Amino acid sequence: MVMQSIDARTTMSALMLGLQETCHDMRQPVASVFALAAAALSQPDLPQPARAYLEQIVEQAEWLADLIQQSLPAAGPGAPAGCQTDLLRVVRDAVAAECLTWPGDLRVAGEAEPVFTAVHAVLLRRMVANLLSNATRAAGPSGAVTVVVGKRRRSATLTVEDTGPGFGKIERGLGLGLNVVSRFATAHDGMLDYGCSPTGGARVSLSLPRTADARIGLRRRYF
Ligand SMILES: Nc1ncnc2c1ncn2[C@@H]1O[C@H](COP(=O)(O)OP(=O)(O)O)[C@@H](O)[C@H]1O
Ligand SMILES: [Mg+2]
């Protein structure tokens, strides 16, 4: 029994190391994407639509770079202990990215002002992106998804509703996404709930502790 758990831990450490090595080696091609996009953006007489696509490529590469960085052990003095991330901003970015590959009707409703929560921006975006990708997959290319960002006294809330067949009634994928969301939520004293919306599609809700004030200027965009 003890031997088995030592084996499991050794396997897990090897997997973690493999993942970190892969993330480490992915930084170079991602840097190449930035360099190539920058070179293309500096071309004279670049047509406006091509410029807009290139800027979107840069945004997606930035997100990939953030994901990679987050998966690597912190070097040097490390990241600041507490962070404050604007849920609304993260939702808008994740929705914009989802719209690049999903043709359906995707709307953001609810709060119009920032809603801050003490979750790292990369983790929060991974949570939101996972919920969005399930909802759009369930709704299908001609369906609709509504994302509502809300605020209670102590919590920041996110509700994702879709016009799909209802929770658990879609073809199963790898089955990793909701586990990730649930694990991150629990680790931050938050909660994930799922069920059906009044229209019969799925309704998935996330609640995370809310923080009152934004810290300015720690990192680009979200803080
Ligand atoms: N919006 C949704 N509509 C219907 N079922 C869903 C939805 N989101 C999640 N589910 C159910 O939860 C399961 C697990 O989701 P997830 O962990 O993201 O794995 P995967 O997306 O790989 O199937 C899905 O296979 C599906 O049965
Ligand atoms: Mg999924």
List, for residues 99-129, the tens digit of each pLDDT value: 999 999 999 999 999 999 999 999 999 999 9
List, for residues 19-38, the tens digit of each pLDDT value: 888 888 889 899 899 999 99
pLDDT at 4: 64
Atom of ligand 1 nearest to the CA of 178: 17
Please give the structure tokens belonging to residue 36: 């190539």
Q: What is the mean predicted confidence (pLDDT) over 198-217?
A: 82
CA of 219 to the centre of ligand 1 (A): 32
- Residue 135 confidence (pLDDT) above 90: yes
CA of 160 to the centre of ligand 2 (A): 13
Q: Please, is 23 exposed, middle or buried when counting C-beta atoms within 10 Å of its C-beta (0-12, 13-18, 19+)? A: middle
Q: What is the mean predicted confidence (pLDDT) over 180-208?
A: 94
pLDDT at 174: 87
pLDDT at 167: 96
List, for residues 170-186, the tens digit of each pLDDT value: 998 888 899 999 999 99
Ligand 1 neighbours by CB, cut-off 6 Å: 130, 134-135, 138, 162, 164, 167-170, 172-179, 202
> Look-up: residue for tokens 């993942």?
19
| Mutate-to-test residue for ligand 1 from 106, 133, 146, 170, highest number of ligand atoms within 8 A of CB | 170
- Residue 217 confidence (pLDDT) above 50: no
- Biggest CA pair distance of the chain: 68
- CA atoms of 115 and 95, how far apart (whole Å): 16
Q: In what order do the strands lie in the sheet with 202-209?
A: 105-110, 144-151, 155-162, 202-209, 191-196
Name the average pLDDT for the chain: 88
Q: What is the mean predicted confidence (pLDDT) over 93-102?
A: 93
pLDDT at 3: 60
pTM reported for the whole predicted model: 0.84
Domains parsed from the chain with CATH numbers: 2-215 (3.30.565.10)
